[in-house]
Structure 1
Amino acid sequence: MNATSLLQLMWLASPALPIGGFSYSEGLEAAVDTARVATESEASEWLLDQLDLSLTRSDLAVLAQSIPAWQCGDTARISQLNAWVLQTRESNELRAQTEQMGRSLLEWLRNHTTATAGQIELLANLQPTYPLAFALAASATQAPLRDCLLAYAFGWAENMVQAAIKSVPLGQSAGQRILQALAAQIPCAVDHALALPDDARQAFSPMLAILSAQHEVQYSRLFRS
Protein backbone atom coordinates (compact mmCIF):
# COMPACT_ATOMS: atom_id res chain seq x y z
CA MET A 1 0.00 0.00 0.00
CA ASN A 2 1.40 3.38 -0.97
CA ALA A 3 1.66 6.36 1.38
CA THR A 4 -1.36 8.14 -0.08
CA SER A 5 -3.64 5.13 0.43
CA LEU A 6 -2.35 4.63 3.96
CA LEU A 7 -2.96 8.26 4.91
CA GLN A 8 -6.47 8.18 3.43
CA LEU A 9 -7.32 5.09 5.49
CA MET A 10 -5.90 6.68 8.65
CA TRP A 11 -8.05 9.74 7.93
CA LEU A 12 -11.20 7.62 7.56
CA ALA A 13 -10.44 5.69 10.76
CA SER A 14 -9.71 8.78 12.84
CA PRO A 15 -12.17 9.67 15.63
CA ALA A 16 -11.64 13.27 14.49
CA LEU A 17 -13.54 12.58 11.26
CA PRO A 18 -16.64 14.80 11.62
CA ILE A 19 -19.32 12.11 11.48
CA GLY A 20 -20.32 11.96 15.15
CA GLY A 21 -19.00 8.52 16.08
CA PHE A 22 -17.89 9.83 19.49
CA SER A 23 -21.52 10.41 20.51
CA TYR A 24 -22.54 6.72 20.48
CA SER A 25 -21.85 3.90 22.91
CA GLU A 26 -23.83 1.20 21.03
CA GLY A 27 -25.56 -0.06 24.15
CA LEU A 28 -22.50 0.07 26.40
CA GLU A 29 -23.90 2.93 28.47
CA ALA A 30 -27.05 0.91 29.13
CA ALA A 31 -24.88 -2.04 30.19
CA VAL A 32 -23.11 0.25 32.65
CA ASP A 33 -26.42 1.60 33.95
CA THR A 34 -27.71 -1.93 34.61
CA ALA A 35 -24.43 -2.95 36.36
CA ARG A 36 -23.42 -5.44 33.67
CA VAL A 37 -20.21 -3.48 33.06
CA ALA A 38 -18.55 -1.87 36.06
CA THR A 39 -14.81 -2.61 35.79
CA GLU A 40 -11.98 -2.55 33.28
CA SER A 41 -12.08 -6.32 32.80
CA GLU A 42 -15.85 -6.31 32.26
CA ALA A 43 -15.59 -3.47 29.75
CA SER A 44 -12.82 -5.28 27.91
CA GLU A 45 -14.80 -8.53 27.81
CA TRP A 46 -17.93 -6.67 26.65
CA LEU A 47 -16.16 -4.97 23.75
CA LEU A 48 -14.30 -8.12 22.70
CA ASP A 49 -17.63 -9.97 22.60
CA GLN A 50 -19.20 -7.15 20.62
CA LEU A 51 -16.34 -7.27 18.12
CA ASP A 52 -16.67 -11.05 17.73
CA LEU A 53 -20.45 -11.50 17.86
CA SER A 54 -21.69 -8.30 16.28
CA LEU A 55 -19.24 -6.17 14.30
CA THR A 56 -17.43 -9.07 12.61
CA ARG A 57 -20.55 -10.83 11.38
CA SER A 58 -22.38 -7.69 10.27
CA ASP A 59 -20.59 -4.42 9.47
CA LEU A 60 -17.20 -5.94 8.62
CA ALA A 61 -18.84 -8.62 6.47
CA VAL A 62 -20.85 -5.94 4.67
CA LEU A 63 -17.69 -3.92 4.06
CA ALA A 64 -15.93 -6.97 2.64
CA GLN A 65 -18.66 -7.24 0.03
CA SER A 66 -19.54 -3.59 -0.58
CA ILE A 67 -16.06 -2.20 -1.27
CA PRO A 68 -15.62 -4.47 -4.34
CA ALA A 69 -19.20 -3.60 -5.36
CA TRP A 70 -18.36 0.10 -5.37
CA GLN A 71 -15.15 -0.51 -7.28
CA CYS A 72 -16.90 -2.41 -10.08
CA GLY A 73 -20.05 -0.25 -10.11
CA ASP A 74 -22.45 -3.02 -9.06
CA THR A 75 -25.40 -0.79 -8.12
CA ALA A 76 -27.78 -3.69 -7.46
CA ARG A 77 -25.36 -5.19 -4.94
CA ILE A 78 -24.80 -1.82 -3.27
CA SER A 79 -28.56 -1.31 -2.90
CA GLN A 80 -29.01 -4.84 -1.54
CA LEU A 81 -26.29 -4.46 1.10
CA ASN A 82 -27.48 -1.01 2.20
CA ALA A 83 -31.02 -2.38 2.62
CA TRP A 84 -29.66 -5.29 4.68
CA VAL A 85 -27.94 -2.91 7.10
CA LEU A 86 -31.15 -0.90 7.57
CA GLN A 87 -33.25 -4.03 8.05
CA THR A 88 -30.95 -5.55 10.66
CA ARG A 89 -30.65 -2.60 13.04
CA GLU A 90 -32.72 -3.90 15.93
CA SER A 91 -33.60 -0.67 17.74
CA ASN A 92 -34.48 2.90 16.84
CA GLU A 93 -31.18 4.10 18.30
CA LEU A 94 -29.01 1.69 16.34
CA ARG A 95 -30.80 2.53 13.11
CA ALA A 96 -30.59 6.26 13.79
CA GLN A 97 -26.85 5.89 14.41
CA THR A 98 -26.07 4.21 11.10
CA GLU A 99 -28.28 6.67 9.23
CA GLN A 100 -26.82 9.78 10.88
CA MET A 101 -23.21 8.63 10.44
CA GLY A 102 -23.95 7.56 6.88
CA ARG A 103 -25.40 10.98 6.00
CA SER A 104 -22.52 12.78 7.70
CA LEU A 105 -19.88 10.76 5.87
CA LEU A 106 -21.75 11.33 2.61
CA GLU A 107 -21.63 15.08 3.24
CA TRP A 108 -17.91 14.76 3.95
CA LEU A 109 -17.50 12.97 0.61
CA ARG A 110 -19.31 15.78 -1.21
CA ASN A 111 -16.48 18.12 -0.16
CA HIS A 112 -13.69 15.80 -1.29
CA THR A 113 -12.60 14.21 -4.52
CA THR A 114 -12.67 10.62 -3.34
CA ALA A 115 -16.09 9.78 -4.83
CA THR A 116 -17.80 10.73 -8.05
CA ALA A 117 -21.00 12.76 -8.20
CA GLY A 118 -22.80 9.71 -9.58
CA GLN A 119 -21.67 7.50 -6.69
CA ILE A 120 -22.71 10.11 -4.13
CA GLU A 121 -26.10 10.54 -5.79
CA LEU A 122 -26.65 6.78 -5.87
CA LEU A 123 -25.98 6.42 -2.16
CA ALA A 124 -27.97 9.52 -1.26
CA ASN A 125 -31.02 7.98 -2.93
CA LEU A 126 -30.66 4.78 -0.90
CA GLN A 127 -31.05 6.25 2.61
CA PRO A 128 -27.31 5.83 3.19
CA THR A 129 -25.95 3.73 6.04
CA TYR A 130 -22.52 4.18 7.59
CA PRO A 131 -20.97 0.88 6.38
CA LEU A 132 -21.92 1.63 2.77
CA ALA A 133 -20.70 5.23 3.01
CA PHE A 134 -17.41 4.08 4.53
CA ALA A 135 -17.11 1.45 1.81
CA LEU A 136 -17.52 4.14 -0.85
CA ALA A 137 -14.84 6.31 0.76
CA ALA A 138 -12.50 3.34 1.26
CA SER A 139 -13.00 2.04 -2.28
CA ALA A 140 -11.42 5.20 -3.67
CA THR A 141 -8.23 4.79 -1.64
CA GLN A 142 -7.16 1.77 -3.73
CA ALA A 143 -5.92 0.20 -0.49
CA PRO A 144 -6.12 -3.59 -0.16
CA LEU A 145 -9.52 -4.81 1.01
CA ARG A 146 -8.18 -6.31 4.23
CA ASP A 147 -6.52 -3.04 5.18
CA CYS A 148 -9.80 -1.17 4.63
CA LEU A 149 -11.54 -3.51 7.08
CA LEU A 150 -8.70 -3.17 9.59
CA ALA A 151 -9.06 0.62 9.47
CA TYR A 152 -12.83 0.45 9.98
CA ALA A 153 -12.50 -1.94 12.92
CA PHE A 154 -9.80 0.09 14.63
CA GLY A 155 -11.83 3.30 14.22
CA TRP A 156 -14.77 1.53 15.85
CA ALA A 157 -12.52 0.26 18.66
CA GLU A 158 -11.15 3.73 19.43
CA ASN A 159 -14.64 5.21 19.67
CA MET A 160 -15.91 2.39 21.88
CA VAL A 161 -12.92 2.59 24.22
CA GLN A 162 -13.55 6.30 24.65
CA ALA A 163 -17.19 5.51 25.42
CA ALA A 164 -16.03 3.03 28.08
CA ILE A 165 -13.64 5.56 29.61
CA LYS A 166 -16.46 8.10 29.96
CA SER A 167 -19.31 5.83 31.03
CA VAL A 168 -17.81 3.19 33.35
CA PRO A 169 -15.73 5.40 34.06
CA LEU A 170 -12.13 4.32 33.50
CA GLY A 171 -8.73 5.96 33.35
CA GLN A 172 -6.75 6.52 30.17
CA SER A 173 -4.32 3.71 31.00
CA ALA A 174 -7.19 1.26 31.40
CA GLY A 175 -8.56 2.44 28.08
CA GLN A 176 -5.23 1.79 26.39
CA ARG A 177 -5.12 -1.74 27.80
CA ILE A 178 -8.61 -2.41 26.43
CA LEU A 179 -7.62 -0.97 23.05
CA GLN A 180 -4.56 -3.21 23.03
CA ALA A 181 -6.77 -6.26 23.64
CA LEU A 182 -9.12 -5.22 20.83
CA ALA A 183 -6.25 -4.52 18.43
CA ALA A 184 -4.90 -8.02 19.06
CA GLN A 185 -8.22 -9.56 18.01
CA ILE A 186 -9.09 -7.29 15.09
CA PRO A 187 -6.95 -9.09 12.45
CA CYS A 188 -8.67 -12.43 13.18
CA ALA A 189 -12.06 -10.71 13.14
CA VAL A 190 -11.31 -9.16 9.76
CA ASP A 191 -10.15 -12.48 8.29
CA HIS A 192 -13.34 -14.12 9.51
CA ALA A 193 -15.48 -11.35 7.99
CA LEU A 194 -13.70 -11.67 4.64
CA ALA A 195 -14.59 -15.36 4.50
CA LEU A 196 -18.30 -14.98 5.31
CA PRO A 197 -20.77 -15.68 2.49
CA ASP A 198 -24.14 -13.92 2.30
CA ASP A 199 -26.04 -16.64 4.13
CA ALA A 200 -23.63 -16.49 7.08
CA ARG A 201 -23.77 -12.72 7.52
CA GLN A 202 -25.95 -11.79 10.49
CA ALA A 203 -26.77 -9.15 13.07
CA PHE A 204 -28.28 -11.24 15.85
CA SER A 205 -27.30 -9.89 19.28
CA PRO A 206 -30.51 -10.07 21.36
CA MET A 207 -29.17 -8.64 24.63
CA LEU A 208 -27.47 -5.78 22.79
CA ALA A 209 -30.77 -4.97 21.09
CA ILE A 210 -32.65 -5.10 24.41
CA LEU A 211 -30.12 -2.81 26.10
CA SER A 212 -30.26 -0.42 23.17
CA ALA A 213 -34.05 -0.25 23.47
CA GLN A 214 -33.77 0.33 27.22
CA HIS A 215 -31.25 3.10 26.60
CA GLU A 216 -33.84 4.96 24.52
CA VAL A 217 -35.76 5.69 27.74
CA GLN A 218 -32.84 5.74 30.18
CA TYR A 219 -33.24 8.62 32.62
CA SER A 220 -29.70 9.98 32.52
CA ARG A 221 -27.22 9.38 29.73
CA LEU A 222 -24.12 10.75 28.01
CA PHE A 223 -24.53 9.07 24.62
CA ARG A 224 -27.09 8.94 21.85
CA SER A 225 -27.10 5.13 21.78
Structure 2
Amino acid sequence: MPVTPAAQLPAASLLQLIWLASPALPVGGFSYSEGLETAVDRADVTTEALAGDWLRDQLHLSLARGDLAVIAQAIPAWRSGDVARIRALNDWVLQTRETSEMRAQAEQMGRSLLDWLRNHDGANAQRIAACAQMQPTYPVAFALAASQTAAGVRDCLLAYAFGWAENMTQAALKSVPLGQSAGQRMLARLASDIPAAVEAAISLPDDERQAFSPMLAILSSQHETQYSRLFRS
Protein backbone atom coordinates (compact mmCIF):
# COMPACT_ATOMS: atom_id res chain seq x y z
CA MET A 1 0.00 0.00 0.00
CA PRO A 2 1.24 3.51 -0.72
CA VAL A 3 2.54 5.43 2.27
CA THR A 4 0.83 8.75 2.94
CA PRO A 5 3.51 11.38 3.48
CA ALA A 6 3.49 13.20 6.81
CA ALA A 7 2.55 16.85 6.82
CA GLN A 8 5.64 18.88 6.02
CA LEU A 9 6.95 21.09 8.80
CA PRO A 10 7.29 24.70 7.60
CA ALA A 11 10.89 25.59 6.84
CA ALA A 12 10.97 28.36 9.45
CA SER A 13 9.87 25.96 12.19
CA LEU A 14 12.32 23.26 11.10
CA LEU A 15 15.18 25.75 11.12
CA GLN A 16 14.08 26.99 14.54
CA LEU A 17 14.27 23.47 15.97
CA ILE A 18 17.69 22.92 14.41
CA TRP A 19 18.78 26.22 15.94
CA LEU A 20 17.48 25.26 19.38
CA ALA A 21 19.29 21.91 19.20
CA SER A 22 22.58 23.44 18.07
CA PRO A 23 25.60 23.31 20.41
CA ALA A 24 26.26 26.86 19.19
CA LEU A 25 23.15 28.12 21.02
CA PRO A 26 24.61 30.51 23.65
CA VAL A 27 23.23 28.78 26.75
CA GLY A 28 26.43 27.17 28.03
CA GLY A 29 25.50 23.54 27.48
CA PHE A 30 29.05 22.73 26.39
CA SER A 31 30.36 23.54 29.88
CA TYR A 32 28.47 20.73 31.66
CA SER A 33 29.12 16.98 31.71
CA GLU A 34 26.17 16.11 34.02
CA GLY A 35 28.28 13.83 36.18
CA LEU A 36 30.09 12.11 33.32
CA GLU A 37 33.42 13.71 34.19
CA THR A 38 33.29 12.18 37.68
CA ALA A 39 32.12 8.86 36.23
CA VAL A 40 35.30 8.85 34.16
CA ASP A 41 37.37 9.70 37.23
CA ARG A 42 35.74 7.38 39.78
CA ALA A 43 33.47 4.85 38.08
CA ASP A 44 35.80 3.48 35.39
CA VAL A 45 33.91 4.93 32.43
CA THR A 46 37.11 4.86 30.41
CA THR A 47 36.28 3.43 26.99
CA GLU A 48 34.01 4.24 24.07
CA ALA A 49 31.73 1.31 24.89
CA LEU A 50 31.40 2.21 28.57
CA ALA A 51 30.81 5.90 27.85
CA GLY A 52 28.20 4.99 25.24
CA ASP A 53 26.44 2.68 27.68
CA TRP A 54 26.51 5.38 30.37
CA LEU A 55 24.92 7.99 28.11
CA ARG A 56 22.35 5.53 26.78
CA ASP A 57 21.29 4.70 30.33
CA GLN A 58 21.16 8.39 31.19
CA LEU A 59 18.92 9.02 28.17
CA HIS A 60 16.37 6.38 29.14
CA LEU A 61 16.55 6.44 32.94
CA SER A 62 16.99 10.16 33.54
CA LEU A 63 16.26 12.39 30.55
CA ALA A 64 13.19 10.54 29.24
CA ARG A 65 11.58 10.23 32.66
CA GLY A 66 12.38 13.80 33.69
CA ASP A 67 13.21 16.70 31.39
CA LEU A 68 11.66 15.26 28.22
CA ALA A 69 8.45 14.45 30.07
CA VAL A 70 8.34 17.99 31.47
CA ILE A 71 8.83 19.53 28.03
CA ALA A 72 6.12 17.29 26.57
CA GLN A 73 3.65 18.82 29.04
CA ALA A 74 5.05 22.36 29.03
CA ILE A 75 4.79 22.97 25.27
CA PRO A 76 0.98 22.63 25.10
CA ALA A 77 0.72 24.57 28.38
CA TRP A 78 2.66 27.48 26.89
CA ARG A 79 0.55 27.37 23.74
CA SER A 80 -2.67 27.50 25.75
CA GLY A 81 -1.38 30.14 28.15
CA ASP A 82 -1.71 27.88 31.22
CA VAL A 83 0.84 29.66 33.39
CA ALA A 84 -0.20 27.80 36.56
CA ARG A 85 0.58 24.47 34.87
CA ILE A 86 3.93 25.76 33.63
CA ARG A 87 4.85 27.06 37.08
CA ALA A 88 4.04 23.66 38.59
CA LEU A 89 6.26 21.92 36.04
CA ASN A 90 9.08 24.41 36.65
CA ASP A 91 8.79 23.93 40.42
CA TRP A 92 9.01 20.16 39.91
CA VAL A 93 12.28 20.53 38.02
CA LEU A 94 13.75 22.78 40.72
CA GLN A 95 12.62 20.51 43.53
CA THR A 96 13.93 17.30 41.98
CA ARG A 97 17.46 18.44 41.10
CA GLU A 98 19.43 16.30 43.52
CA THR A 99 22.61 18.37 43.82
CA SER A 100 23.59 22.02 43.78
CA GLU A 101 25.42 21.53 40.46
CA MET A 102 22.38 20.00 38.77
CA ARG A 103 20.13 22.81 39.99
CA ALA A 104 22.66 25.49 39.03
CA GLN A 105 22.86 24.05 35.51
CA ALA A 106 19.08 24.04 35.07
CA GLU A 107 18.80 27.62 36.32
CA GLN A 108 21.76 29.06 34.41
CA MET A 109 20.78 27.49 31.10
CA GLY A 110 17.17 28.56 31.63
CA ARG A 111 18.19 32.19 32.21
CA SER A 112 20.52 32.15 29.22
CA LEU A 113 17.88 30.74 26.89
CA LEU A 114 15.37 33.32 28.09
CA ASP A 115 17.92 36.09 27.38
CA TRP A 116 18.34 34.64 23.88
CA LEU A 117 14.58 34.63 23.38
CA ARG A 118 14.31 38.30 24.40
CA ASN A 119 16.50 39.21 21.42
CA HIS A 120 14.87 36.77 19.02
CA ASP A 121 12.57 37.90 16.23
CA GLY A 122 8.95 36.97 16.81
CA ALA A 123 9.36 36.36 20.54
CA ASN A 124 6.22 36.72 22.66
CA ALA A 125 7.04 39.42 25.20
CA GLN A 126 4.11 38.55 27.48
CA ARG A 127 5.12 34.89 27.75
CA ILE A 128 8.77 35.79 28.22
CA ALA A 129 7.75 38.04 31.12
CA ALA A 130 5.67 35.24 32.65
CA CYS A 131 8.59 32.84 32.31
CA ALA A 132 11.04 35.30 33.88
CA GLN A 133 8.87 35.57 36.99
CA MET A 134 9.23 31.88 37.84
CA GLN A 135 13.04 31.42 37.89
CA PRO A 136 12.87 29.38 34.69
CA THR A 137 14.68 26.08 34.34
CA TYR A 138 16.11 25.02 31.01
CA PRO A 139 13.38 22.47 30.12
CA VAL A 140 10.65 25.07 30.72
CA ALA A 141 12.50 27.81 28.82
CA PHE A 142 13.14 25.38 25.95
CA ALA A 143 9.44 24.50 25.90
CA LEU A 144 8.62 28.21 25.61
CA ALA A 145 11.01 28.62 22.67
CA ALA A 146 9.73 25.48 20.94
CA SER A 147 6.09 26.41 21.53
CA GLN A 148 6.54 29.44 19.28
CA THR A 149 7.16 27.18 16.28
CA ALA A 150 4.60 25.20 14.30
CA ALA A 151 6.35 21.94 15.23
CA GLY A 152 4.56 19.15 17.05
CA VAL A 153 5.58 18.08 20.52
CA ARG A 154 7.35 14.96 19.22
CA ASP A 155 9.58 16.94 16.86
CA CYS A 156 10.41 19.42 19.64
CA LEU A 157 11.45 16.59 21.95
CA LEU A 158 13.57 14.98 19.23
CA ALA A 159 15.41 18.28 18.80
CA TYR A 160 15.98 18.69 22.55
CA ALA A 161 17.21 15.13 22.96
CA PHE A 162 19.59 15.34 20.02
CA GLY A 163 21.01 18.62 21.31
CA TRP A 164 21.60 16.94 24.67
CA ALA A 165 23.23 13.96 22.94
CA GLU A 166 25.63 16.19 21.01
CA ASN A 167 26.71 18.07 24.13
CA MET A 168 27.16 14.89 26.15
CA THR A 169 29.10 13.17 23.38
CA GLN A 170 31.46 16.13 23.25
CA ALA A 171 31.84 15.91 27.03
CA ALA A 172 32.81 12.24 26.65
CA LEU A 173 35.33 13.05 23.94
CA LYS A 174 37.05 15.57 26.21
CA SER A 175 36.91 13.71 29.51
CA VAL A 176 37.60 10.05 28.63
CA PRO A 177 39.22 11.16 26.19
CA LEU A 178 38.10 9.75 22.84
CA GLY A 179 38.56 10.58 19.18
CA GLN A 180 36.08 12.09 16.74
CA SER A 181 35.26 8.76 15.07
CA ALA A 182 34.39 7.25 18.44
CA GLY A 183 32.20 10.26 19.13
CA GLN A 184 30.30 9.76 15.88
CA ARG A 185 29.68 6.11 16.72
CA MET A 186 28.43 7.05 20.17
CA LEU A 187 26.18 9.73 18.72
CA ALA A 188 24.78 7.22 16.22
CA ARG A 189 23.89 4.87 19.10
CA LEU A 190 22.15 7.66 20.98
CA ALA A 191 20.31 8.84 17.86
CA SER A 192 18.91 5.36 17.32
CA ASP A 193 17.58 5.33 20.90
CA ILE A 194 16.17 8.86 20.99
CA PRO A 195 12.83 8.13 19.25
CA ALA A 196 11.93 5.46 21.81
CA ALA A 197 12.92 7.77 24.67
CA VAL A 198 10.74 10.52 23.22
CA GLU A 199 7.75 8.21 22.86
CA ALA A 200 8.16 7.10 26.47
CA ALA A 201 8.31 10.72 27.64
CA ILE A 202 5.19 11.72 25.71
CA SER A 203 3.17 8.86 27.19
CA LEU A 204 4.39 9.38 30.77
CA PRO A 205 1.65 10.60 33.17
CA ASP A 206 2.45 13.13 35.89
CA ASP A 207 2.49 10.58 38.70
CA GLU A 208 5.13 8.52 36.88
CA ARG A 209 7.48 11.38 36.07
CA GLN A 210 10.60 11.03 38.20
CA ALA A 211 14.15 12.14 38.87
CA PHE A 212 15.71 9.17 40.63
CA SER A 213 19.27 8.37 39.57
CA PRO A 214 21.17 7.65 42.79
CA MET A 215 24.58 6.98 41.26
CA LEU A 216 24.32 10.09 39.09
CA ALA A 217 23.48 12.17 42.18
CA ILE A 218 26.41 10.72 44.11
CA LEU A 219 28.84 11.41 41.28
CA SER A 220 27.45 14.93 40.87
CA SER A 221 28.03 15.59 44.57
CA GLN A 222 31.57 14.26 44.32
CA HIS A 223 32.21 16.49 41.30
CA GLU A 224 31.69 19.58 43.47
CA THR A 225 34.99 18.84 45.22
CA GLN A 226 36.81 16.98 42.46
CA TYR A 227 40.45 18.06 42.42
CA SER A 228 40.86 18.59 38.69
CA ARG A 229 37.97 19.13 36.30
CA LEU A 230 37.07 20.56 32.89
CA PHE A 231 33.31 20.96 33.36
CA ARG A 232 30.92 22.79 35.67
CA SER A 233 29.00 19.61 36.48
TM-score of the aligned structures, taking structure 1 as reference length: 0.99
The CA deviation at 1:114 is: 4.0
The partner residue of 2:116 within 83, 91, 108 is 108
Distance 1:70 1:120 in 2: 10
1:118 aligns to 2:118 (yes or no): no
1:127 aligns to 2:171 (yes or no): no
What is the percent sequence identity of the aligned residues? 73
Q: 1:114 to 1:50 in 2, by over 3 A?
A: farther
The partner residue of 1:214 within 201, 207, 222 is 222
Q: Which amino acid aligns with 1:47?
A: L
Distance 1:179 1:68 in 2: 29
1:196 aligns to 2:213 (yes or no): no
1:140 aligns to 2:148 (yes or no): yes
Distance 2:122 2:46 in 1: 42
Question: Contact 1:114–1:137 at 8 Å: present in 2 too?
Answer: no
* Counterpart residue number, 1:92: 100
Helix, strand or coil at the partner of 2:120: coil
* Counterpart residue number, 1:65: 73
Distance 2:127 2:121 in 1: 11
Question: Contact 1:157–1:182 at 8 Å: present in 2 too?
Answer: yes
Deviations 1:28-86 (A, max 9, x none): 00000114200000000000000010000000000100000000000110000000000
The CA deviation at 1:2 is: 1.2
Q: Which amino acid aligns with 2:37?
A: E
Aligned residues: 225
Question: Contact 2:35–2:216 at 8 Å: present in 1 too?
Answer: yes
* Counterpart residue number, 1:186: 194
Contiguous gaps of at least 5 residues in structure 2:
1-8
The partner residue of 2:179 within 162, 171, 184 is 171
Question: Contact 1:70–1:135 at 8 Å: present in 2 too?
Answer: yes
The Cα RMSD (Å) is 0.6
* Counterpart residue number, 2:87: 79
The partner residue of 1:48 within 47, 53, 56 is 56
The CA deviation at 1:113 is: 2.9
The CA deviation at 1:148 is: 0.2
Distance 1:62 1:35 in 2: 29
Distance 2:55 2:209 in 1: 20
Question: Contact 1:66–1:135 at 8 Å: present in 2 too?
Answer: yes
The CA deviation at 1:174 is: 0.2
1:159 aligns to 2:159 (yes or no): no
The CA deviation at 1:115 is: 2.9
Q: Which amino acid aligns with 2:156?
A: C
Helix, strand or coil at the partner of 1:7: helix
Give 1 or 2 for the bigger CA radius of gyration.
Answer: 2
Runs of 4+ in 1 over 4 A off after TM superposition: none
Question: Contact 1:91–1:213 at 8 Å: present in 2 too?
Answer: yes
Question: Contact 2:32–2:105 at 8 Å: present in 1 too?
Answer: yes
* Counterpart residue number, 2:22: 14
Q: Which amino acid aligns with 2:169?
A: V
Helix, strand or coil at the partner of 1:218: coil
